[in-house]
Structure 1
């Protein structure tokens, strides 16, 4: 997991990757903008959503 930069600007460096985005376009983010230290667009991605994407990747490898 990494972000919140645009995958068009800084894409994953592996073909074994899934992009999970809850925002569109480019959003300028400065460190420390969020109280938790993370951009809200990352906080809003649920663990369940990440597990669903991970499971899809694992199933892809089995084929």
Structure 2
């Protein structure tokens, strides 16, 4: 899961990974700009979205 950072700069290290990201580009975040230390774009990723990606990935792997 990616918030304001870009997977282009710090991509997953596995070819089996999925990127879940709700914003495009890079967004600089200043300390104190986020609620409870998390960018809103991370907070907005729902558990349902994560589960959908997980099920899709597992299906591709035949699990």
What TM-score results when the alignment is normalised by the length of structure 1?
Answer: 0.85
Alpha-carbon separation, structure 1, partners of 2:3 and 2:22: 11
Match of 1:33 in 2: 33
1:1-40 equivalence runs, <5 A: 1=1, 3-40=3-40
After TM superposition, which residue ranges in structure 1, 4 or more long, deviate above 4 angstroms? none
Aligned residues: 63
Alpha-carbon separation, structure 1, partners of 2:48 and 2:12: 21
In structure 1, list runs of 5 or more residues that go unmatched. none
Q: Deviations over 1:23-48 (max 9, x none)?
A: 00011124442122111100000000
In structure 2, list runs of 5 or more residues that go unmatched. none
